Structure 1
Amino acid sequence: MLLAAALLAPATAFGQDRTMQKPMPRIVVIGHRGASGERPEHTLLSYQRAIDLGADFIEPDLVPTKDGELVARHENAITDTTDVAAHPEFADRKTTKTIDGQTITGWFTEDFTLAELKTLRAKERLPKLRPGNTAYDGQATIPTLDEIIALAKKESARLHRVIGIYPETKHPSYFASIGLPLEGRLVAKLKAAGWDRADAPVFIQSFEVNNLKQLHAMTKVPLIQLMAGSQGPADHAYASYREMATPEGLKAIAAYATGIGPELTQIIATDGTPSTLVADAHAVGLKLHPWTFRAENYFLMPAYRTGTDPATHGRLAEEIDTFLKAGIDGFFTDFPSIGVPARDSFLKTNGN
């Protein structure tokens, strides 16, 4: 598969001497929305923090603006992640939309130009679970993909190690339906950055199938098929993610993707029962980058919780180690401060 090249030889994508760059480890740590456990998600503050903590990749979820720019937000609905509600000049932009079958009322990126979005300030999405992050409310704007690429390149040069980006195309069918398709815009931005080869420090991910197949024909950058423990892709390419996780489904994915990004419970159930997904995926040459390791009891599997307060941090390092022993090839985490040392300890014990 192309992943080995992507991990071991991405330095040339930065236009730098390969000897000046430390290669990525064989198990990669992906800063989920940056270091979103410590800074408001999808901000340059969060991405910088993830890089400083040693993450190999930073992950922007990409959505478009009205004028076609790609920006990083977990959703195109921005009510909970910005101060838009406090801007009277945008009061008339509040609306109700149905996106992938879900009805949502609020403000949406596609109804704002980039210049308008840049007047907003980011805020913590989970203040009850992460009250410390609220200290950074108002300190950051919504970043563009261009700004995120520039940060990764700048920090790669400064730190002499490869820092990649791991963009997700959010709601691609929906955005195509309103005349704002993501794929061409993303590929063009990556090409402009020199990241249009199989050895680029980039993975593109999606929960949908058909847009990944489209991207497979547009770029050589490695692709990751995201999956969840329930439901199915919004483009209805398959009836369910469960079907996609079968040996037959995985074989079909291997025709267009380098790996899969399964939900944690697809690998190990909450009661600790392992599945065969790791072995089945590896059997057809697919890598596994599961999501998402978070420190709070609210997100941890029962065996790793500490006490009963949902916001209390449990034993995340132990949970990560359990999945590393199961054979995963990388992972998403809101807490690179925990994920990177856990990965490094595992590699030291088991060989890099």
Structure 2
Amino acid sequence: MKRNMFLALLVVCLLAGMAAAEEMGKRFLVIGHRGACGYVPEHTLRSYELAIEMGADYVEPDLVSTKDGVLICRHECEIGATTDAAKKFPDRKKKVVIDGVEEEGWFAEDFTLAEIKTLRVKERTDFRDHSKDGLYEIPTFQEMISLVKAKEKEKGRVIGIYPETKHPSYHDAIGLSLEEPLLAVLKQNGYDRADAPVFIQSFEIDNLKELKGKTNIRLIQLFDEYDMKPGCVLAKGGTTTYRNMATPEMLKEIATYAYGIGPWKELILARDKDNKLQPETNLLQDAHAAGLAVHIYTMRNEAKYLAAEYNGDPREEYRKWIALGVDGFFTDFPDTAVQVRLEVSR
């Protein structure tokens, strides 16, 4: 009897230890934001490749359309800020209104894919490395997927993709709908199941609901600053803001069409004018209560993006979010996220 009790106690202790280890090392997703754009110009095959080399679970291509309906990887419809379009096509400059804001520049929808391929990419920011400006071209979504599949074979592991439909209402208005070509490319590449390593994300509501009726792929509702409105709301003259969408009731509604949410991190932990962290809002906990995963954006290593409490160490920010229970990170520096994950898994 004593021996049986001892064995039973031993099993309980082992199980408890396994559970504790599993909780300590709980896996969260590392999403290469525009690839590894802290090191390489964003949305280039090299940026995606580097994110994979650093151990990212997913890589994120933002998608816009060319004039001839091909999906390419760019953060915005305006491509002048990240390419040499102004130099090569000076006559293409124009003004448009996107999501209620007038923009001036060079826009992907005015270029055929053949013209896009003559452009070369440059670093967007003034505080990151510009030594690689002019080296890379703009990839198509298909080229990005082909790279991911090749790296999967090389690495012997699954690598996910996390495409974002950029300004879908604007694209609809100019006759270049994103949803149909997106789903077509995904299906051609075998990404058409609920368990496929894909998330489709959008700041808009209507196109996610449309996608819900057309695919089993997991969907992510992005959240911008609280006082802003989704593009589809602006297009219809509506009043719904992201603040309205962050209530427990609305999060339950979002859970009927989305797998999770992707909020700007400061909607959960804001910084005050002195760069100090404010008390946590209810968004993370309310989203989890509604059954939604939470993948926050954007983690960056530069000191200007870190709250004072982190003392200039980006790893401390990851540790804070891990303790809060976040499910994934969009990060410009995937290597830092992977390093912290290894530390907390030990």
TM-score range, shorter chain: 0.7 to 0.9
Amino acid across the alignment from 1:140: Y
Runs of 4+ in structure 1 off by over 6 angstroms are none
Among candidates 271, 276, 295, match of residue 282 of structure 2: 276
How has the CA–CA distance of structure 1 residues 347 and 267 changed in structure 2, closer, same or farther, with 3 Å as cutoff?
A: farther
CA drift at 1:92: 1.4
CA deviation vs aligned residue, 1:133-192 (integer Å, no higher than 9, x gap): x11111110010001111111111110111011000000000001100100110000000
Pair 1:315 & 2:313 matched: yes
* Structure 2: unaligned runs, 5 residues or longer: 1-25, 272-276
Partner SS for 1:86: helix
Partner SS for 2:104: strand
Q: Is the 8 A contact 1:129 1:296 kept in 2?
A: no
Amino acid across the alignment from 2:313: R
Let me know the Cα RMSD of the aligned residues.
Answer: 1.2
Whole-Å Cα distance in 2 between the matches of residues 65 and 258 of structure 1?
Answer: 29
Whole-Å Cα distance in 1 between the matches of residues 87 and 342 of structure 2?
Answer: 43
Query: Match for residue 112 of structure 2?
Result: 113
Whole-Å Cα distance in 2 between the matches of residues 96 and 229 of structure 1?
Answer: 24
Pair 1:144 & 2:143 matched: no
Q: Is the 8 A contact 1:34 1:41 kept in 2?
A: yes
Query: Match for residue 300 of structure 1?
Result: 306
Whole-Å Cα distance in 2 between the matches of residues 238 and 33 of structure 1?
Answer: 31
Pair 1:173 & 2:169 matched: yes
Partner SS for 1:292: strand
Query: Match for residue 325 of structure 1?
Result: 323
State the TM-score, normalized to the length of structure 1.
0.86
Whole-Å Cα distance in 2 between the matches of residues 330 and 110 of structure 1?
Answer: 32
Amino acid across the alignment from 1:208: E
Amino acid across the alignment from 1:113: T
Partner SS for 1:136: coil
Percent of aligned pairs sharing the same letter: 53
CA deviation vs aligned residue, 1:201-234 (integer Å, no higher than 9, x gap): 1000000000000000111110000002321211
Among candidates 212, 218, 221, match of residue 214 of structure 2: 218
Among candidates 128, 151, 157, match of residue 153 of structure 2: 157
Query: Match for residue 186 of structure 1?
Result: 182
CA drift at 1:238: 6.0
CA drift at 1:299: 2.0
Whole-Å Cα distance in 2 between the matches of residues 228 and 344 of structure 1?
Answer: 30
Partner SS for 2:146: helix
Query: Match for residue 20 of structure 1?
Result: none
CA drift at 1:297: 2.0
Q: Is the 8 A contact 1:268 1:275 kept in 2?
A: yes
* Structure 1: unaligned runs, 5 residues or longer: 1-24, 306-313
Whole-Å Cα distance in 1 between the matches of residues 308 and 96 of structure 2?
Answer: 36
Whole-Å Cα distance in 1 between the matches of residues 344 and 328 of structure 2?
Answer: 12
Q: Is the 8 A contact 1:224 1:260 kept in 2?
A: yes
CA deviation vs aligned residue, 1:233-259 (integer Å, no higher than 9, x gap): 111176111111110110000000000
Whole-Å Cα distance in 2 between the matches of residues 278 and 160 of structure 1?
Answer: 34
CA drift at 1:343: 2.2
Amino acid across the alignment from 2:194: A
Whole-Å Cα distance in 1 between the matches of residues 49 and 329 of structure 2?
Answer: 18
Pair 1:291 & 2:297 matched: yes
Amino acid across the alignment from 2:229: G
Partner SS for 1:80: helix
Partner SS for 2:256: coil
Partner SS for 2:220: strand
Query: Match for residue 8 of structure 1?
Result: none
> Which protein has the larger Cα radius of gyration, Structure 1 or Structure 2?
2
Whole-Å Cα distance in 1 between the matches of residues 34 and 70 of structure 2?
Answer: 19
